[in-house]
Structure 1
Amino acid sequence: MDAFLAYILPLVVLPLSLYLVFRKRGSDDSKVPPGSKGWPMLGENMEFALQGPQKFVKDRMSKYSPEVFRTSLLGEKMAIFCGAQGNKFLFTNDNKLLTSWWPQSMKKALLFPEFVGSNLKEVSALKRSFHHDILKPEALKKYIPVMDALAREHLDADWTPNGVVKVFPLSKTYTFALACKLFLSITDPDHIKRLADPFALVTNGMFSVPIDLPGTAYNRAIKGGKMVRDELMKIITKRRKEIIANNETEGRDLLSCMLLVKDEDGQFLSEMEISNNIIGLLVASFETTSSAVTAVMNYLAELPHIYNGVLKEQMEIAKSKGPDELLTWEDIEKMKYSWNVARESLRLTPPAQGAFRETTTDFTYAGFTVPKGWKTFWTVHTTHKNPKFFPNPEKFDPSRFEGSGPAPYTFVPFGGGPRMCPGKEYARLEVLVFMHNVVRRFKLEKAIPSEKIIFYASPTPEHGLPVRLQPHEK
């Protein structure tokens, strides 16, 4: 409740201060998408927070338009695009009619003050092709044994000694430790904690109302962001000195690769630019992946027949290996059913709710005009829960992903188009490795069968998803 109040309190007791983050409003064109501006200065932030993204969007699709509707969120005029056609339009027009956009709260929490006013293309100093190169399957193959070894260590330390564990906080511990190891070669628990604690403040508050007053989630996010950047700058500066001193020409991890690469002008990246990109990758690899892991564990604990199918597949893989032999790419490729289970989990409980863009020109969609400068948002729920694309949509059914799978632009947990999440394959490997290790050791039972899911940056179990562990007989 305290965390919830940190988001909502500013909306209730400080509405006038939101005027500072709003743009001047002119008269609306009658051809813009139908919808509501919400309350003066407040917009529809309150409704979005109280209803959650799924109900908020569903209600307005029914009331205004199933294709696109307007709202006011985060101090911005916003068009919400719906359905597969809406997804297709936004994905295929990225860099044509639209460009990247982050809420001000997110930019101030994550970036150095010098970059907050910059275009996001300037902030992302590394070309996306580089991100794809370091996160594509060929490059990630060498990470699989590392993921497996760390998952075993994590379960030994934090799961096996306990009869009941809270999956959500523990999954965050694992995913952040893995990111620190793979991206920065940091393995010391105290050093990881110096990054993890303030980073949690950032992720908990980066989508909150941007009011920088004590006690607000936004205030804590800004403080946490500065602590993370300060710590990263120490790490980056030290590593650059090591690379120069040792005359290194190959990257030992992601950080070294960034220090060795040159931008489009042939210049090495600055420490600040590298920090911006590392933080972006940490957000992507930490918040969403830990949410995905938690959702999968929730369904495995809730649905015995699904768990048994995953267990059968994973035990066959385990029997083909020595007791201490780590997983390989070939093992991951055998996890067909397990990945279908993970994908169905991503459909029902997607870790990211969608993504923002900003229009760079006026354009027409579904007979409505979306003006230049408006923000857009696509949301996973308009297709993931649509019976037209997924019959009986609330049923957990991994067979939906057999054969050719869902229709294009309907299953979009990682987005689509040129800005599809470059960490998609990283997330797949991490989730499957974790599933393999958990089901091999334990049968899971939910301690709170009817636990509610609350929406912050990602769907969050109200009590952290406590599960009872039943170790397999040896």
Structure 2
Amino acid sequence: MAVFVVIMSMVVLGFSICTALLRWNEVKYRKKGLPLGTMGWPVFGETTEFLKHGPNFMKNQRARYGNFFKSHILGSPTIVSMDPDLNRYILMNEAKGLVPGYPQSMLDILGKCNIAAVHGSAHKLMRGALLSAISPTMIREALLPKIDESMRRHLSNWDGKTVDIQEKTNMMALLSSLNQMAGNESSSIAEEFVPEFFKLVLGTLSLPIDLPGTNYRRAFQARKNIIRMVEKLIDQRRTSTSTQRDMLGCLMNTEDSRYKLNDEELIDQIITILYSGYETVSTTSMMAVKYLHDHPRALQELREEHLAIRKAKGPSHPIDWNDYKSMKFTRAVIFETMRLATIVNGTLRKTTQDMELKGFFIPKGWRIYVYTREINYDPFLYPEPLTFNPWRWMDKSLESHSHILLFGGGSRLCPGKELGLAEISIFLHYFVTRYRWEEVGGDELTNFPRVAAPNGLHLRVSSY
């Protein structure tokens, strides 16, 4: 009986402490004029609920507090905006004190000079340097041949095998980006680079808790190892008499003094380019394969588009710029995949001054999560929004609609948009012209915080 009393006392005490902590955190952030909402636990806030339940967490909070509410996620007090018009205003008005506000873990791991984190003159510098490395001319003349080479090599010898398409597209996206970045040297560093890079990716959406065994600690150490590899590569380039036509060569040897980067800026841009390209290209490629498998009519039209391109070329002739630009239906498939799978859920901004938005007071230093996921399923913008219908994108005007934010918006429109589309298009070209496939095992898919197949997405592949 005494043991039971002790246990019950401990339970009551624990419950009381938890209640007091939650109450204290709510009072701490109860400033006049703030939107309604809940703040969760001290330090941790509602991060666990946000990462675990994602869209349902957002829907529940919106049902209670409306399209504009407060929370505490990923280490910071945050305003969540689910209002399409307000979201567009926030993204278009960086100069009014709404600057990028990425989580501390992402800043630590990708670097404080990465293009997604800086603003003002620093952003102009980084964006100018990056655009010179992935301009249409650079893509057409230097990068597209590297992409074609990577895809041919990666998609060889799949006939008769059962493959995990998630693993394959992850490796495809990273190795292709590494080849575009480092050209001839990429193969010599890939074996050491790849496992470190995957550790880095896992840590970008984590609480910045620097303890052994955490994703953050592993990712931060991986960043150090990657920096060491990249510094060695840069030193080799500087002592070499030859000039490489790849992204690293372009960033290092730009003739425009306005966009000359120091070594810290250069390394952060390299890591950011590899990270950004990997995330979008790998996941979109995997989900496009999934949706095409489930929608034979779309697969047939896509395959006919690519067979026509292949018929006009020799078997060993690479895809060129004109071939890529002719892939109209392929582009539609990619856009519809990004919309329906919601590869990008939203973006973060931070206030540099106290301000008023939608009649509410937003303190300086708070983050604003521009949550764009729900607009992807707006029936007014996309009739039958839960249906995979790439034909809707054949009307080019849809791409330029003011609420289409698949690639960001304003001055933050993704500079690598065209490069990413080219990579996915060429992957699909070689995949559908070489192979048929069937799913094996009915593997589970999750859609938040990243679209992923926790146990892989397995396909039985045969030659076409």
* TM-score with structure 2 setting the length: 0.87
Alpha-carbon contact 1:124-1:273 (below 8 Å) kept: no
Q: Tell me which residue corresponds to 2:210.
A: 212
The residue aligned with 1:5 is none
Instruction: Return the index of the structure with the highest Cα Rg.
Output: 2
Instruction: Give the conservation status (yes or no) of the 8 Å contact 2:33–2:361.
Output: yes
Aligned to 2:111: 111
How many residue pairs get aligned? The number is: 439
Partner of 2:150: 150
Q: Deviations over 1:131-177 (max 9, x none)?
A: 223323232112223212221111115x23x4211111111211111
1:60 corresponds to: 61
1:20-63 CA deviation, whole Å, 9 max, x = no partner? xxx999553332222111223321111112102x2222222222
Aligned to 1:88: 88
SS at match of 2:462: strand
Match of 1:6 in 2: none
Q: SS of 1:318's equivalent?
A: helix
Report matched runs for 1:222-371 at 5 Å. 222-242=220-240, 245=241, 252-261=245-254, 268-371=260-363
State the match for 2:416 in structure 1.
423
| Unaligned 5+ runs, structure 1 | 1-14
User: What is the rounded CA distance, in whole Å, between the counterparts of 2:225 and 2:122 in structure 1?
Assistant: 19
56-65 or 280-289: bigger deviation:
56-65
1:29-178 equivalent positions in 2, closer than 5 A: 29-52=31-54, 54-66=55-67, 68-111=68-111, 120-121=118-119, 126-142=125-141, 143-157=143-157, 159-160=158-159, 162-178=160-176
Aligned equivalents of 2:226 and 2:388: distance in 1? 39
Q: 1:199 is aligned with what amino acid? A: F
CA contact (8 A) 1:32 1:369 kept: yes
Cα distance per residue 1:265-310 (max 9 Å; x no partner): x695332221111111111111221111111111112221211111
> Alpha-carbon deviation of 1:262?
7.1
* Dislocated runs of 4+, deviation >4 Å: 23-27, 121-125
For the 8 Å contact 1:123–1:276, the answer to whether it is kept is: no
Q: CA deviation at 1:340?
A: 0.7
**Does residue 394 of structure 2 align to residue 402 of structure 1?**
yes
Does the CA contact (< 8 Å) of 1:98 and 1:359 recur in 2? yes
Letter in 2 for 1:127: M
- Aligned-residue offset at 1:88: 1.0
The amino acid that maps onto 1:285 is G
Structure 2 CA distance for aligned equivalents of residues 468 and 95 of structure 1: 51
Distance in 1 (CA, whole Å) between partners of 2:106 and 2:82 is 24
SS of equivalent to 1:95: helix
Tell me, in whole angstroms, the C-alpha distance in 2 between the residues paired with 1:402 and 1:350: 19
1:380–1:412: 8 Å Cα contact kept in structure 2?
A: yes
Conserved? CA contact 1:350–1:380, under 8 Å: no
Q: Secondary structure at the match of 1:153?
A: helix
What is the rounded CA distance, in whole Å, between the counterparts of 1:348 and 1:223 in structure 2? 35
Name the aligned partner's letter for residue 39 of structure 1.
W
- Pair 1:262–1:60, CA change in 2 (3 A): farther
Aligned residues of 2:443 and 2:453 also touching (Cα < 8 A): no
C-alpha change, 1:48 and 1:26, in structure 2 (3 Å) is: closer
Deviation at 1:102, TM superposition (A): 2.4
The answer to which of 224-233 and 89-98 deviates more is: 89-98
Inter-CA distance 350–241: structure 2 relative to 1 (3 Å threshold): farther
Measure the CA separation in 1 of the matches of 2:29 and 2:344.
Answer: 33
- Correspondence 1:447-466 to 2 at 5 A: 447-449=440-442, 451-456=444-449, 458-466=450-458
- CA 1:470–1:272 in 2, change beyond 3 Å: closer, same or farther? same
Partner Cα separation in structure 2 for residue 433 and residue 203 of structure 1? 24
Q: TM-score, normalised by structure 1?
A: 0.86
- Checking the alignment, whether the CA contact within 8 Å between 1:111 and 1:276 is kept in structure 2 is yes
Q: Secondary structure at the match of 1:461?
A: coil
- In the alignment, structure 2 segments of 5+ residues that lack a partner are 1-16
1:408-448 CA-partner distances (Å, limit 9, x unpaired) = 24322211110111111111000100111100011222213
**Match of residue 407, structure 2, among 403, 414, 418:** 414
Amino acid of the structure 1 residue aligned with 2:209: I
Root-mean-square deviation (CA, aligned residues, Å) is 2.7
The worse-fitting range, judged by mean Cα deviation, of 200-209 and 372-381 is 372-381
For residues 267 and 347 of structure 1, the distance between their equivalents in structure 2, rounded to whole angstroms, comes to 34
Q: Which residue of 1 aligns with 2:14?
A: none
Letter matched to residue 40 of structure 1 = P
Deviation at 1:357, TM superposition (A): 1.3
Match of 1:440 in 2: 433
SS at match of 2:172: helix
